[in-house]
Structure 1
Amino acid sequence: MKASLKARYDTDKSAAGATLVVNAGDVKIRASMTDATVVNGPSLNGLALAVEKPGFFIVDYNVPKKDFRFQFMNTIRVSEKPLNLTYIHSIGDKRTILDGTLVFDSANKVSANHVLGSANFKLKYNYVHEGVTTFEPSYDVARNSWDFAVSRKFFGEDVFRASYQTPNKALGLDWSRNSKLNGSFKISASLNLAEELKVPKLSAESTWDFEM
């Protein structure tokens, strides 16, 4: 079994959560909860259950909302290039998402995301330069707008990422670390350049994984 604990702090609130994963052959059974599950006595708030076969399917069940979410994954080859396909359907909001990623090589891939029955369609290009710097321009067809992101690895475990969303003029900065020995954390700052009072929003989250 594997367990993980996650804590998150925002400038206006803080939250915590826990996840327990049990391996049953090639299938994983996962249970997760938030602080809302235990605050003011045990409850179903924030409780979620999932069954996953990595690379094939995930079935999520939101206990308080009694809502199922199905996700199926498959990979086909197009001109000898792998095309990773994902189908996601949420029963509660009756929304279906199709996502595909065509991998040209280790440095170049193109992704497309579409919500069926809507004009929501996004395209993203991912380019990795020398294995450490990643450029991610993306285009939102519905908004007719571009978003940009660039990230760079340092010391093998640290990643610095900057992003900019053109529709709302939002600038984001992230520093994250993923360590098998010391756990992982992420510190984020966001700033809306369209606001007259430009005050950045800060958040931090940490995750610790345990083998049981």
Structure 2
Amino acid sequence: MDGREIIARRIAKEFKDGMVANLGFGIPNMAANYLPDGVKVILQAENGALNFGPTPKIGESDPDLGNSGGAPITLLKGASTFDMDLSFAIIRGGHVDITALGALECDQEGNIANWMIPGIFAPGMGGAMDLLVGAKCVIAALSHNDKKGNSKVLKKCALPLSAAKCVDIIITDKAVMKVTDKGLVLIEVAPGLTVDEVIKCTDADLIIATDVKEMEI
């Protein structure tokens, strides 16, 4: 199981029955394939879909149906599609219970940078700015370290922020952390890793929960 799948599976564990959940571009959209059995979640795509389901099988996709990243989706019974004006009215109106968004980096204050690296063209942050302030709970999903081994969970973000102090939970391929008033609390580590190993590869200051668990995936 690669890191992306680990993150997507763990994101899905945060969804509770009856929630309206928005899935962002990249890894978060993969979480649609791993919803817990028996949990009824209404998935929302910012480009205009409500109550979509897992990725369709090859040859069964509808070119008119796609998620926020343009990948094919299925629609469940009772689903609806609509224009982006209505989609963002749902988001800005506070009707999204939880959102999971990809990130370039996060920090221990709950800041998130997920749209721009200076010097590299970026078309804009898109719906992230609305979701980060409109959703009731924000999950940041990202690899724990970059290709050089540098931590992407930081004391302070260095890249331009998408929003400040908005993240509630950080989920990486190595750990799950909660942002609290006291700091960033390590609550889970990935299978095969120890708390000390996670601390060693993390730039942020971590508060270690008294009952750190193995990540459920």
Q: If each structure's helix is expressed as a fraction of its own residues, which one has the higher value? A: 2
When normalised by structure 2's length, the TM-score is: 0.31
Q: If each structure's strand is expressed as a fraction of its own residues, which one has the higher value? A: 1
Larger Rg: 1
* Higher RCO by CA contacts (8 Å cutoff, separation 6 or greater): 2
